[in-house]
């Protein structure tokens, strides 16, 4: 349980309490994540999670990704149920060589696997988050069925409830889900996914190495991470994909399946941010039905 003092503390106090080091510099305006300077000059990032289980899910995800020894992530320096302190990553310009290495490392991360579809990271909650949206890590064995039940239809219902999607439009996604077994391509073993792999969660370090932040980590299909990276744009994406294919070739027909995997993040965004993303998801769904 979080006590009253901890519930109202600022990022600087949280960083000091969780790292055991005095803070010499912290912003006066609230924000999350926030950069804080510890005694000795080390700069760290402090993030507050107000939803129950949000911090625990993110910490577990970062540690699960780190355990694969593939893609690098910032180290967790301290956390409780409300606050998390991680290393700060000095960032530079995206680089083609770093992109190629990132693609290879992402392939290795996925290949490190998960116990099953929908697997939560060790010590992570079943009821987790993708951004600010709830995300349930329910187990499954058949990807088309699991993806429909736990990554598409819950957000269709959420968008309808919010008025972002009209009731008759939900039927478009239901038809796609019915056809997923024939559209999904060959079965693959569960991959260890970052789960929220848009460009804002890809940090191009000044040392020439990529770090990933803010995971919604779970066991899933590896093409979902790649499709999300493509949906919101990524510098040198061609090099990322080249490195990935070099390390772990993708099944034929991946290009035709990109839209299917993008339905998940598009519908999450429709729930969180409105009609524009709902219309984009509808276009993708209709294109899949027309294929």
Q: What is the pLDDT of residues 75-129, one digit of tens each?
A: 999 999 999 999 999 999 999 999 999 999 999 999 999 999 999 999 999 999 9
pLDDT in tens, 260-272: 999 999 999 999 9
> How do the domains of the chain map onto residue ranges?
4-87, 96-290
Topology of domain 96-290, CATH: Aminoglycoside 3'-phosphotransferase; Chain: A, domain 2 (3.90.1200)
For residue range 136-153, what is the model confidence (pLDDT) as tens digits? 999 999 999 999 999 999
Q: Which of 196, 214, 238, 287 is catalytic?
A: 196
Residue by residue, DSSP assigns 73-90 as: -PPEEEE-SSEEEEE---
CATH class for domain 4-87? Answer: alpha beta
Assess whether 142 carries a catalytic annotation. Answer: no
Checking if the pLDDT of 25 tops 90, the result is no
């Amino acid at each position: 349980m979080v006590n009253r003092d901890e519930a109202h503390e600022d990022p600087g106090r949280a960083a000091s309490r969780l790292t055991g080091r005095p803070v010499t510099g912290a912003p006066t305006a609230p924000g999350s994540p926030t950069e804080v300077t510890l005694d000795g000059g080390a700069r760290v990032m402090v993030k507050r999670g107000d939803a129950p289980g949000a911090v625990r899910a993110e910490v577990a995800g970062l540690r699960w990704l780190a355990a694969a020894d593939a893609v690098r992530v910032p180290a967790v320096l301290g956390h409780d149920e409300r606050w998390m302190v991680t290393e700060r990553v000095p960032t530079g310009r995206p680089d083609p060589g770093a992109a190629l290495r990132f693609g290879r490392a992402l392939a290795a991360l996925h290949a490190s696997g998960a116990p099953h579809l929908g697997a939560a990271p060790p010590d992570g909650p079943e009821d987790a988050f993708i951004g600010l949206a709830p995300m349930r890590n329910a187990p499954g064995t058949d990807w088309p069925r699991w993806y429909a039940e736990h990554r598409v239809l819950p957000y269709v219902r959420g968008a309808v409830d919010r008025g972002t999607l009209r009731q008759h439009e939900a039927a478009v996604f239901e038809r796609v889900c019915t056809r997923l077994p024939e559209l999904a391509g060959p079965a693959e073993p569960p991959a260890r996914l970052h789960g929220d792999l848009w460009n804002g969660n890809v940090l191009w370090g000044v040392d020439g190495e990529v770090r990933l932040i803010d995971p919604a980590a779970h066991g899933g299909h590896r093409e979902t991470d790649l499709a999300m990276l493509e949906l919101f744009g990524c510098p040198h994406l061609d090099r990322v994909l080249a490195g990935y294919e070099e390390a772990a070739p993708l099944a034929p027909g991946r290009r035709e399946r990109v839209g299917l995997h993008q339905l998940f993040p598009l519908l999450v965004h429709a729930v969180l941010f409105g009609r524009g993303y709902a219309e984009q998801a509808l276009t993708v769904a209709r294109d899949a039905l027309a294929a």
